[in-house]
Amino acid sequence: MLKGQVISAVGTMSGTSLDGVDAAVLETDGQRILQFGASSYRAYSGEEQQILRAALGRWPGEPGVAAAADVVEAAHLAVLREMPGEIIGFHGQTLAHDPSGRGTHQAGDGAALARALGRIVVWDFRSADVRLGGQGAPLAPFFHFAAAKWAGLTEPCAFLNLGGVGNLTWVDPRKARVEEEGAVLAFDTGPANAPLNDLMMQRLGLSHDAEGALAATGRVVDGALELFLEEPFFFKMPPKSLDRNDFSLMLDLVRELPDADAAATMTAMAAAAVLQGMQYCPTPPAAIYVTGGGRRNPVMMQMLRAALDADVGTVEDIGLDGDMLEAQAFAYLAVRVAMGMATSCASTTGVRALVGGGEVSRV
C-alpha cells in the first residue's frame, strides 16, 4: 500500500476482560483519521469465557491454548464476515505477556483469518517490538495522538484506558507528527478491572461489578491499599507494561474482607495506581479522557476525579467511542504496518528505535 493513500480498515480487539470481540471501521492515510465507520460487538458465551480463562498465562503448545485459539478465531470470523474494510487489524487474545522473559503471546492465527475472509490481515502486532527490546505494550498511543488531532485538541492531554489493565497515553497535539520527540509518552498504570472482575467471579459468580454497585456499599481498607502501593512496579520509570495476572496479590490483600469492602478497596487500588502514574507525565495534562470498561463504573470515576488534579471525563466528551477505541486503534495500526510505518517508539514501549510491528497475511 502506498503512503498517503486513504484506506478503509476494520480493527478488532478481544481484551483481558474476556467479555467479547469489538470490531470497528475507520478511514485513514496512516497519519490522519479521516472518518470513523461502522462498529460491532460479539460477546463470548459463558463456555467460551471458561476456555479462554483456563488458557490465561499459557504459551504456545501448552494445554488449553489450541482450544482458546479456536474460540478466538471463530468469534472473530463471526463478526468480521459482517464488517466492511479493505484491510483487517487482528489483535488476537493476549494469554501471556512477559516482555523481559518469554515474550508475548496473543492467541489466534491471522493467516487463517486471511484465507477464510479473502482479505489482507495484519496481526501479531507486539512480537517485533519485544524482540527489539520493547515492552510490546501499550500499542494504542500512536492512534491516541491521531485521535487528539481529529478531535481538534490543542493542549497536552491524557487518554486513560481502564480495561483489564490500566494504561495511560500523554499526548501533546501541538506536535506535527507522532514520531517527533515529546509527542507521546505511554505506560501501563497498573491493574484496573481484571482483578476486580476475578473477585466478582470467585465470590459471587458475576462477570463484573456492574456500575460499581457493590463497591458503592463498601469501605476502602487503607492498610490493604498501602500494601498494594508498595509494589516495585509503581517505582519503575516508564515505559512499562503488565500482564493481566501480574497483580494477583490484590486478591490476597482483600481475602479476609467482606465482599463490599473488598470491591471498594480493589476499585480504589485501580484509581490509586493511576494517581501514582501521573507523576511521570512530562507536564500535567489539561484533561484526562477515560476509555474502556472502567469509565462505566461511577465509583471508580469519582475516585479518579477526587484524586487527580485535572478535568476527568470520558472519550465521548470529545466525540470518540470508548467501547470501540481499541478496535479502532488496531484498524489504524494495521494501515500503518501495511504502509511500512512505525507503530511504537522509545517513549511508548521502550523499544530501541521506531518499529512497525505486525505480520501481513495476504490471500
Q: What is the DSSP string of 216-248?
A: GGS---HHHHHHHTTSGGGGSPSS----TTTTT
Do residues 193 and 321 make contact, with C-beta atoms less than 8 angstroms apart? Answer: no
The answer to whether the bond into 195 is cis (omega within 30° of 0) is no
Q: Which CATH code, of 3.30.460.10, 3.40.47.10, 3.30.470.20, 3.30.420.40, is assigned to 7-133+329-343+354-361?
A: 3.30.420.40
Nearest to 272 by CA among 166, 138, 199: 166
**Do the two domains 7-133+329-343+354-361 and 152-318 of this chain adopt the same fold?**
yes
Q: Residue 213 is placed in which grid cell?
A: 454497585
Q: What type of residue sits at position 12?
A: T
What is d(CA 108, CA 76) in angstroms, rounded to the nearest whole number?
A: 9
Per-position pLDDT tens, the chain of length 363:
667 799 999 999 998 778 899 999 999 999 999 999 999 999 999 999 999 999 999 999 999 999 999 999 999 999 999 999 999 999 999 999 888 888 999 999 999 999 999 999 999 999 999 999 998 989 999 999 999 999 999 999 999 999 888 999 999 999 999 999 999 999 999 999 989 999 999 999 998 999 999 999 999 999 999 999 999 999 999 988 887 777 878 899 999 999 999 999 999 999 999 999 999 999 999 999 999 999 999 999 999 999 999 999 999 999 999 999 999 999 999 999 999 999 999 999 999 889 998 999 998
Domain locations in the chain as residue ranges:
7-133+329-343+354-361, 152-318
Question: 152-318: what fold?
Answer: Nucleotidyltransferase; domain 5 (3.30.420)
What is this structure's pTM? 0.94
Cis ω before 239 (30° cut-off from 0)? yes
Helices H / strands E in the chain, number of each: 12, 12
Supply the pLDDT for residue 5. 94
